Amino acid sequence: MIFWQQVINGLTLGSIYALVALGYTMVYGIMELINFAHGDVVMVGALIALTLTQWFMQQGLGFPLSLLLASGLSICVCMLLGWVIERVAYRPLRTAPKLAPLITAIGLSLLLQQLAALIWGKSYLPFPGNLEGSSYAWHGIVISSLQLSIFILSLLLMFLLWQLVHHTKLGRAMRSTAQSVPFAQLMGVNTNQVISQTFIIGSALAAVAGVMDVMYYSVGNYTMGFLLGLKAFTAAVLGGIGNLKGAMLGGLLLGVLEALGAGYIGDITHGIMGSNYKDVFAFFVLILVLIFRPNGLLGSNNQEKV
């Protein structure tokens, strides 16, 4: 029973990881950059949604409407933030050695965290409103409506992203740019614009994931993006970085592994380690993947650039 309960919890968590992992994998796919600031975009999205929901509610609006408006605005701000990050921090380094944008990414991550600490302070902020909602029980397994919403909305967004990447003009432009920037330009693709749009789409998904995360745990904090980002990055590597399906699969898988680990670690270690050690699993997985399958589950060995 605890097994299936943890699978449900893991799928919820995993769908949040997957949304964030998609942002990592899209940016990596298109410019071979690990955007370590991506997790902090999630944090910004979460905290903006948290604050604005509170504010709208203080203005007398109901919770659902407040949440909807706040989430919408948070997505817009994060899209803008993603665009600015690419424009200001990464574009000038396009031809620089690969270490330069990587270090810049880490610097950006710290910058965003410290800015958030200035704006929101360093304490944990509670998410307003009553998030209990209804829940459904089935043979002793409990699914809350929040969990169900997170899972369904994530699947929907992943489906839409898949359609976008494979069946639209922008998607084809993204995939051609990912394979070769100069060749894409020869086809008439404005590759700078495509890279900007990739950051914008990834940041929108990050904002949604942020809102989900802050609602799921019902607290937010300026450091919340760090661990979440690192786990989502692990998910992307697990699935095969640069691979969209891989990020989706890796996210869900990592969520389930982590939840199962948290559920059973007490039994396995005879109580020496509790579920507070659950974060260990993500990084244990990262190490195993890097040793035994460095290209990830769905990554191929010959992902050659054209």
Partner 1 sequence: MLLDVQDLSVSYDGIQAVRQISFNVKQGERVTIIGANGAGKSSTLKALAGLIKLTQGRIQFNGQTINTVPAYERVALGLCLVPEGRGIFQRMSIEENLWMGAYSRGVKEFNQQVGQVYDIFPRLYERRSQNAGTLSGGEQQMLAIGRALLSQPQLLMLDEPSMGLAPQMVDHLFEVIGKVVSQGVSLLLIEQNAELALHLCDRAYVMDTGEIILSDSAKNCLTHPLVQQAYLG
Nearest-approach distance from CB 83 to partner 1, in angstroms: 19
Taking CA atoms, 44 is separated from 194, 263, 267, in Å, by 23, 30, 37
Cα 114 to Cα 94: distance, rounded to the nearest angstrom: 26
**What residues form DSSP beta bridges with 220?**
125
- Residue 162 or 217 having the CB closest to partner 1: 162
The answer to whether 254 and 231 are in contact (CB under 8 A) is: yes
Distance in Å, CB of 207 to partner 1, minimum = 29
**CA-to-CA distance for 92 and 113, rounded, in angstroms?**
22
- The CA distance from 221 to 88, in Å, is 26
Give whichever of 191 and 221 is closer to partner 1, judged by the CB atom. 191
Rounded distance, CA 89 to CA 47, Å?
A: 23
Q: Please count the residues of the chain.
A: 306
Minimum CB distance to partner 1, residue 305 (Å) = 9
Closest approach of Cβ 189 to partner 1, in Å?
Answer: 6
Q: Which is nearer to partner 1, 140 or 182 (CB)?
A: 182
- CA pair distance 23, 59, nearest whole angstrom: 34
Looking at the Cβ atoms of 185 and 196, the one nearer to partner 1 is: 185
Provide the H-helix boundaries in the chain. 2-31, 38-58, 63-85, 99-120, 145-167, 169-179, 181-186, 191-217, 224-239, 244-268, 279-292
Give the count of alpha carbons within 13 A of 190, CB side only: 4
CB neighbour class for 108 (10 Å; exposed up to 12, middle 13-18, buried from 19): buried
Q: What whole-number distance in Å separates Cα of residue 89 and Cα of residue 155?
A: 31
- The distance of closest approach from Cβ of residue 178 to partner 1 in the complex, given in angstroms and rounded to an integer, is 8
CB of 193 to partner 1, least distance (A): 9
> In terms of CB distance, is 124 or 183 closer to partner 1?
183
Helix (H, G, I), strand (E, B) or coil at 249: helix
Nearer to partner 1, 291 or 306 (CB): 306
Q: How far is the CB of 198 from partner 1 (least distance, A)?
A: 16
By CB under 8 A, name the binding residues for partner 1: 169, 172-173, 175-176, 179-180, 182-191, 304, 306
Of 69 and 170, nearer to partner 1 (C-beta) is: 170
Beta bridge partners of 138: 141
Nearer to partner 1, 147 or 176 (CB): 176
- What's the min distance (Å) between Cβ of 248 and partner 1? 18
